Amino acid sequence: MFKSIINLFFPKVCSGCNSFLLTNENVICTVCRHDVPLTNHHLSLENEAFKKFYGRIPVVHASAQLYFHKKGIVQQLIHNLKYKGHEEIGTILGEWYAEDLKEIQSLQSIDVIIPVPLHRRKLRERGYNQVTAFGLALSSSLNKPYDDTILRRNIYSKTQSKKTLLGRTEGIETIFDVSFTEKNHDKHFLLIDDVITTGSTLEACSRALLKIPGAKISIVCMAMAQS
C-alpha cells in the first residue's frame, strides 16, 4: 500500500520516452524496448564496430548493443544515465546484452571486465562512472570479475560530446595509463564504454592496456553512433 501511495504522488516514468511506466514495467517501457534500434553486432564477427578498429588496434571482438541517433530513444537513455544519475539504465542494458554476449565464442576467454575510466576530478563532479552499472551487470551475468583499478585516466578533459572530431583525437594518446602486476599478464580484457563515436578513446585505452605483456583486448559498448 505504501509503495502504491508513493507511486501515486511520484509516478515512475520511462527513461526513454518519459511516459508513465505500468506496474509490470521497469526503467524502460515496453514500447521503447521494442523500438530501440538494436545493432545485432553479436551475430557477425566482422561487424561495423569491429571494422571501426581494424588496422588501428588488434581486437579479438568488438560490438555495441544499440545504435545511437540524435534525438532518439538511445540518446535519451544515455543522457539520463550519464547526467541524471539513472544508473539503473546501465544495469538493465547490461543484463539484456549479456544474454547475447554469452553466445559469442571469442568472449568465453575473457578474464576481466574493465571500464573506460573517468578522471578522479570528473568522478567527484559526477559522483559515478556511467559505465559502472553496465559493467557490474555484465560481470554478474557472465561470471567474470570487474576491475576499475588497472586502467586510469591521467588528464582531466571536458565532455567529449561537446568537442569536435579534431578535439576528441588531439593528444588522446597521453590521457590513459595502466597499473598492473605480473598476475595481469596474458589476460583477455573486456573494455567497456557507453558510446562508440570516433573510437579514439577506446583505441587509446586499448593501447594502454596492450602495455601489459600478453594482453588481448575485446570491446563492448552500450551504443554506437550511426551516421
CA 172 to CA 44: how far, in whole Å? 30
Q: Residue 227's pLDDT band (boundaries 50, 70, 90)?
A: low
28 with 15: CB under 8 angstroms? yes
**What mean pLDDT value characterizes the chain?**
90
CA 142 to CA 136: how far, in whole Å? 10
Q: pLDDT tens digits, residue range 22-56?
A: 878 889 999 999 999 999 999 999 999 999 999 99
CA 71 to CA 59: how far, in whole Å? 31
**What SS3 string covers the chain?**
CHHHHHHHHCCCECCCCCCECCCCCECECHHHHHHCCECCHHHCCCCHHHHHHCCCCCCCEEEEEEEECCCCHHHHHHHHHHHCCCCHHHHHHHHHHHHHHCCCHHHHHCCEEEECCCCHHHHHHHCCCCCHHHHHHHHHHHCCCECCCCEEECCCCCCHHHCCHHHHHCCHHHCEEECCCHHHCCCEEEEEEEEECCCHHHHHHHHHHCCCCCCEEEEEEEEEECC
Q: pLDDT tens digits, residue range 86-142?
A: 999 999 999 999 999 999 999 999 999 999 999 999 999 999 999 999 999 999 999
Q: What angle do CA 146, 149, 150 make, to 5 degrees?
A: 95
Other C-beta atoms lying within 10 Å of the C-beta of residue 58: 12
All 3 cell numbers of residue 152?
586510469
CA 192 to CA 89: how far, in whole Å? 15
Other C-beta atoms lying within 10 Å of the C-beta of residue 147: 17
Average pLDDT over residues 184-211: 97
Q: Report which of 69, 63, 60 is spatially closest to residue 47, judged by C-alpha positions.
A: 63
Q: What is the pTM of this model?
A: 0.88
Other C-beta atoms lying within 10 Å of the C-beta of residue 165: 10
Q: Which residue has the higher pLDDT, 73 or 163?
A: 73
CA 28 to CA 198: how far, in whole Å? 28
Average pLDDT over residues 56-80: 96
